[in-house]
Amino acid sequence: MNPCKDDPEVFSQDIIARARKLNSSLLADAMDGANTMSYDISPVAQGYQMVGAAVTVSMKPGDNLFLHEAIYKGAPGYVLVADGKGHTKNAYMGELMAVAAEALGLEGIVIDGLVRDCSDLQKLDLPIFAKGFVPNGPYKEGPGQLNSPVSCGGVFVQPGDLIVGDDDGVTVVPKHMIEAVFQKAEKKQAYEEKRLKEIAAFKEDRRNGRSERTIEPSWLKEKIKPFL
């Protein structure tokens, strides 16, 4: 088993800036719901946005030896995606490892498994996504693998894929699809912003005693017609 391969390239500032203007839901919609991690991969603390290039680690269930190795190789621009096989008996990470990851500048950590030291992790300036919490610690025996394709939260992740996480969860954009997905997501974002303005105008009309305006979306009549 090859223990380590070269890290992928970090993304340009343009890609990072465009991703930060979007969110996990818009990107998921742009891929028709594909590449969205399962609901139980959720943020340890609310209010963070995580954007970066995936570096990956695969671990034996309940064993975090290679997660240590991955964290201490961490650097800005990267999100560490850890395949913990969905194991729910042992925590893969706690405060010490998370503080080290924060100090090294990682953009975030996603673990298909459990963590611990909940209140301490919530205080960090580091987005962390996991399946939940358990007090029981891990083993450190190996084996494992760095920067190979992994499965995390039911999604196939390759090193260098774009990882975007927020309060709704985590979406993975395959690196070869980034521009096409961005264009679709930005188009939907523009539509949603237009709709919000229409609804705000409707509310203002109602407040002023006017009722001529409608807020029914243009697509609804045709979609609902076969069922009426």
CB-CB contact of 54 with 29 (8 Å):
no
Binding residues for Mg(2+): 117
Residue numbering of the annotated binding site for substrate: 94-97, 116
Backbone angles phi, psi at 43, to 5 degrees: -70, 140
Binding residues: 94-97, 116-117
- Nearest in space to 181 (alpha carbons), one of 16, 11, 19: 19
Q: Report how far residue 102's alpha carbon sits from residue 98's, in angstroms, rounded to the nearest whole number.
A: 6
Q: In this structure, are residues 54 and 8 in contact, taking their beta carbons and an 8 Å threshold?
A: yes
Element containing residue 181 per DSSP (H, E): helix 178-207
Q: Are 122 and 45 in contact (CB under 8 A)?
A: yes
